[in-house]
Structure 1
Amino acid sequence: MRDEIKTWRHVFKLDPDRDILDDDLELICMSGTDAIMVGGSSGITYDNTVDLMSRVRRYELPCVLEVSDLEAVVPGFDLYMIPMVLNTQHSQWMIGRHVQAIEQYSHLIPWELLIPEGYIVLNGESTVAQLTDAITDLDADTAAAYAQAADRLLQLPVVYVEYSGTFGDMELAADIRRVTRNARIFYGGGVVDEQTARQASQICDTVIVGNIVYNDLQQALKTVSAVKA
């Protein structure tokens, strides 16, 4: 299952703290997307995570949890994505909280199902940037250096270019892509229609589509074919 992420081109990211109708969830899961990622920056609980996972589980596609809160870690997901914020100013968001989790739950951790992600957070107005106190005003050279550190020094399987809430600088994303040899480049942020989906897919390996699901489902569904065309 870990190797399957290398084939993902399009992923819908659903927030347990936001409501979605059963009919809409069916359209999302039957859209041809490669996986459903469950996660968010705030309001995530064990109960709302269990509820969303059980609803997605009715469909035959990978369902993965991006772990943002230890209290909301739910067994039964296919994979667990573990964010490590590379450009944070506080070590807890890079490794500190991860060590705390291992101290508490090492005997329960399904290590074979964990996928670490090296996040480069680039929208200073986003919740994740403010929560992690990320240094977001990076030029292309510095962003590329973070990507190289994740790819070659830390040997992370995923570098996540995160613009959360706004469509990002594709030239900077391309610079990150050029210097990365082994890690898969995930892109998230501001993918709201076919055009933005296509732009991101031409540079990055995997396009994550999130907020537009809740604002304009029909536009969200169109991003699948735009990415895979």
Structure 2
Amino acid sequence: MEYLEWRHVFKLDPAKEISDEALKRVCESGTDAILVGGTDGITLDLVLDLLVRVRRYKVPVALEISSIECVSPGFDFYFIPSVLNSTQTTWVKDLQIEAIKEFGDFLNWDELVPEGYCILNPDCKVAHLTEAKTSLSEEDVIAHARLAEYIFKLPIFYVEYSGVYGNPNMVRAAKNVLTNTRLFYGGGITSVDQATEMAKIADTIIVGNHIYNNLHEALETVSAVKRISL
């Protein structure tokens, strides 16, 4: 599957404004894909509006599903997150079960991509929402990574720091025990140096918030990541 070859991904939040010119620059930057997703304020209308605008370009576009009400046809892939360090089964499997009950007869299963999240920033919105246990040791992160690959057989293990730059040692600990599962990293990348550092560890780098804070710097991360070979 082509998402297993992605090295750099821009994540766009439907609830945040982005001009047509800025969106053009993002979509034509050379990034491997656009991931549409966010934590709050997401509506179907916002998702559809962003989808239509991104579809003007050739870049693959995936929807990371945070709400059943915001699911729409037209995406290349649908990423289904399970927060493995959540203390509530709601965010591990219950919402997924509800979605399968409603849409299971109509789904193209080849377009669905399950991903195991490990959220490590205690102050971010998604950690609070999912009641994630974020005070994890390296041994804990390793165990979650192995859970993703060897127990749940997930294609993606996503180390998420959401809004702050993460600890490379934690990311490396996860990477060192993964064989077939791909390691995604997201959180706080605001410079070429940070993108380069994490690209030397993780398989795929996600850049999100910095698109809205400093577009020029965000765009520079594409070539920085593409220069790194694992």
Query: Once the two structures are superposed, what CA deviation does each residue of 1:177-203 show, in whole Å capped at 9, x if it has no partner?
Result: 001111000000011110110011000
Q: Structure 1 CA distance, aligned partners of 2:102 and 2:79?
A: 18
**Could you tell me which residue of structure 2 aligns to residue 35 of structure 1?**
33
- Give the match's secondary structure for 2:201: coil
Q: Structure 2 CA distance, aligned partners of 1:117 and 1:41?
A: 16
Counterpart mapping for 1:189-228 below 5 A: 189-228=187-226
Q: Structure 2 CA distance, aligned partners of 1:188 and 1:165?
A: 9
Q: CA deviation at 1:104?
A: 1.7
Residue of structure 1 aligned with 2:10, choices 9, 12, 15? 12
**Could you tell me which residue of structure 1 aligns to residue 169 of structure 2?**
171
Counterpart mapping for 1:1-229 below 5 A: 3-229=1-227
Q: Structure 2 CA distance, aligned partners of 1:104 and 1:79?
A: 18
Q: State the identity as a percent.
A: 47
The more displaced of 105-114 and 166-175 is 105-114
Q: Which runs of 5+ in 2 are unaligned?
A: none
Query: Once the two structures are superposed, what CA deviation does each residue of 1:17-76 show, in whole Å capped at 9, x if it has no partner?
Result: 000000000000010000000000111110000000000000001000000010000100
Q: CA deviation at 1:107?
A: 1.9
- The amino acid that maps onto 1:101 is A
- Give the match's secondary structure for 2:9: strand
Root mean square deviation of aligned Cα: 0.6
Q: Structure 2 CA distance, aligned partners of 1:86 and 1:72?
A: 22
Q: CA deviation at 1:84?
A: 0.4
- Give the match's secondary structure for 1:213: helix
In the comparison of the two structures, how many residue pairs are matched?
227
Q: Structure 1 CA distance, aligned partners of 2:158 and 2:14?
A: 20
Q: CA deviation at 1:108?
A: 2.3
- Give the match's secondary structure for 1:13: strand
Q: Structure 2 CA distance, aligned partners of 1:184 and 1:104?
A: 29
Q: Structure 2 CA distance, aligned partners of 1:110 and 1:226?
A: 35
Query: Once the two structures are superposed, what CA deviation does each residue of 1:126-182 show, in whole Å capped at 9, x if it has no partner?
Result: 111000000001000011100001011111000000000000010011000001111
Q: Structure 2 CA distance, aligned partners of 1:7 and 1:117?
A: 15
TM-score (norm 2): 0.98
- The amino acid that maps onto 2:150 is R
Q: Structure 1 CA distance, aligned partners of 2:223 and 2:28?
A: 13
TM-score (norm 1): 0.98
Q: CA deviation at 1:7?
A: 1.1
Q: CA deviation at 1:6?
A: 1.5
Q: CA deviation at 1:109?
A: 1.9
- Give the match's secondary structure for 1:128: helix
Q: Which runs of 5+ in 1 are unaligned?
A: none
